[in-house]
């Protein structure tokens, strides 16, 4: 299907969190600037815009102190709105960061009662997610971190986190939920330092779990960018490990507070190489825009924001296809790589004979160092493509 008008359809698998388009503009320095929107209304609007699904925290939908009857009424109403507007809930997650009970961590709290409550809250939230059809369960440990290390819990925290995830993976199996869990790294904010700050830390940690096959990563564009890292590089490592279970797309200026900007609004080149990576490798999961409209905006601005996230993705997807089909770009790419069948054989798969042959080989270092790979040319072709002059 072509998207010459850049208008999405559910096949594009674009999703938004209830907390994203529902964000009211509150920030640490100011009150909300927009009225709250109800979950059924958000479903209606996102359905009209061509989104595929809606993600939620337990309490985005059901207030934390709702009675059982209220719970049932709210969930029934939301389900109806989803089916009326052709949307699904592919991912769910728990709010383990707003309640003051979690101020010093949830699964990594030094208080055993808080850790147990976090497990209870998560099980209930997993029940709700399953009720709504979610197959991916995200863990973003917003409060799992510290401002000071005087409490001396660094190694304990890792162990407590592991115990909790092992418990919850078993709960998912015992209940027959079949969730795939996606761990979301972030370096800081709201904590001074958050545990497991990068995709690489999550990958290392997953290997220590009892059911590693059930766990993957939910990398977020802004979270790597905040600390000056290259998000496309992080995602490539996650894909290589077979662990891209979900992805959070947004944008961010490096070195700033957590901005959650509209996808593609800031780092257009990294966004392009990210979209190209996702499309070239056939990522088939949901593409979740975990961002919100600027605080300056009214409701019209919220929908302009949502439309813009999807439109920019589709434009970049088309640019990626152009990149792959452009003869000059492909020629420059071919010139960049130097292939050598004999050396490929020699360097892949160790044998004492190969090691011997490689030790004896003479390389012309001056020639290797003197070669110009043509990256300036290739990058300018990319810039021309992105600026629309190709």
**Residues at the contact surface with ligand GLT, assessed by CB under 6 A:** 19, 93, 138, 140, 184, 220, 248, 290
Residue nearest to ligand GLT (CB): 140
Alpha helices in 179-280, H assignment, sequence order: 199-206, 221-226, 231-240, 268-280
In order, the DSSP letters of 42-80 are HHHHHHHHT--EEEEEHHHHS-TT--HHHHHHHHHHHHH
User: Which entry of Mn ion, ligand GLT, none binds 251, CB below 5 to 8 A by partner kind?
Assistant: none
Nearest Cα residue to 133 out of 166, 75, 89: 89
Stretch that binds Mn ion, among 235-243, 248-256, 339-347, 363-371 (CB under 5 A): 248-256
Token pair of 180 as six digits:
């795939």
Annotated ligand binding at 260? The verdict is: yes
Contact between 60 and Mn ion per CB under 5 A: no
Annotated ligand binding at 379? The verdict is: no
Contact between 12 and Mn ion per CB under 5 A: no
Cα–Cα dist 280/268, whole Å: 18
In order, the DSSP letters of 279-331 are HHTT--S-EEE-----TT--HHHHHHHHHHHHHHHHHHHHHHHHHHH-HHHHH
Annotated ligand binding at 290? The verdict is: yes
Contact between 224 and Mn ion per CB under 5 A: no
How many binding residues for Mn ion (CB under 5 A)? Answer: 3
Is residue 95 within 8 A of residue 118, CB to CB? The reply is: no
Question: Which lies closer to ligand GLT via its Cβ, residue 12 or residue 58?
Answer: 58
Annotated ligand binding at 345? The verdict is: no
Stretch that binds Mn ion, among 36-44, 218-226, 306-314, 322-330 (CB under 5 A): 218-226
Catalytic residue set: 57, 60
**Which residues contribute to the site for Mn ion (CB under 5 A)?**
220, 248, 290
**Residue list for the binding site for Mg(2+):** 184, 220, 223, 248, 258, 260, 290
Binding-site positions read: 184, 220, 223, 248, 258, 260, 290
């Amino acid at each position: 299907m072509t998207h010459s008008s850049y208008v999405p359809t559910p096949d594009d698998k674009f999703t938004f969190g209830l907390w994203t388009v529902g964000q009211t503009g509150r920030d640490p320095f100011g009150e909300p600037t927009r009225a709250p929107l109800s979950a059924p209304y958000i479903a209606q609007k996102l359905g009209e815009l061509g989104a595929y699904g809606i993600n939620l925290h337990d309490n985005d939908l059901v207030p934390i102190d709702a009675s059982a009857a209220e719970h049932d009424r709210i969930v029934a109403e939301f389900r109806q709105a989803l089916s009326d507007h052709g949307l699904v809930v592919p991912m769910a997650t728990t709010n383990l960061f707003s309640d003051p009970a979690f101020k010093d961590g949830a699964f990594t709290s030094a208080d055993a009662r808080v850790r147990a409550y976090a497990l209870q809250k998560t099980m209930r939230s997993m029940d709700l997610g399953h009720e709504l059809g979610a197959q991916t369960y995200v863990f973003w440990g917003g409060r799992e971190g510290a401002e000071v290390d005087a409490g001396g819990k660094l190694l304990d925290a890792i162990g407590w986190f592991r115990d909790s995830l092992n418990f919850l993976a078993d709960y998912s199996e015992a209940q027959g939920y079949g969730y795939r869990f996606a761990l979301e790294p972030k370096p800081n904010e709201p904590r001074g330092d958050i545990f497991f700050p990068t995709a690489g830390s999550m990958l290392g940690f997953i290997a220590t779990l009892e059911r590693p096959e059930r766990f993957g990563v939910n990398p977020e564009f802004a979270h790597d960018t905040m600390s000056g890292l290259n998000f496309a590089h992080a995602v490539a490592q996650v894909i290589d490990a077979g662990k891209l279970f979900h992805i959070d797309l947004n944008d961010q200026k490096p070195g700033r507070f957590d901005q959650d900007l509209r996808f593609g609004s800031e780092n257009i080149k990294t966004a392009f190489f990210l979209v190209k990576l996702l499309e070239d490798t056939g990522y088939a999961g949901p593409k979740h825009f975990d961002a919100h409209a600027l605080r300056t905006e009214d409701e019209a601005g919220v929908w302009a924001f949502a439309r813009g996230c999807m439109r920019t993705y589709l434009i970049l997807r088309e640019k990626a296809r152009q990149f792959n089909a452009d003869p000059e770009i492909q020629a420059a790419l071919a010139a960049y790589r130097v292939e050598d069948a004999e050396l490929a054989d020699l360097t892949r798969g160790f044998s004492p004979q190969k090691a011997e042959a490689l030790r004896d080989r003479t390389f012309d270092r001056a020639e290797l160092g003197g070669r110009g790979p043509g990256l300036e040319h290739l990058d300018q072709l990319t810039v021309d493509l992105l600026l629309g002059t190709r």
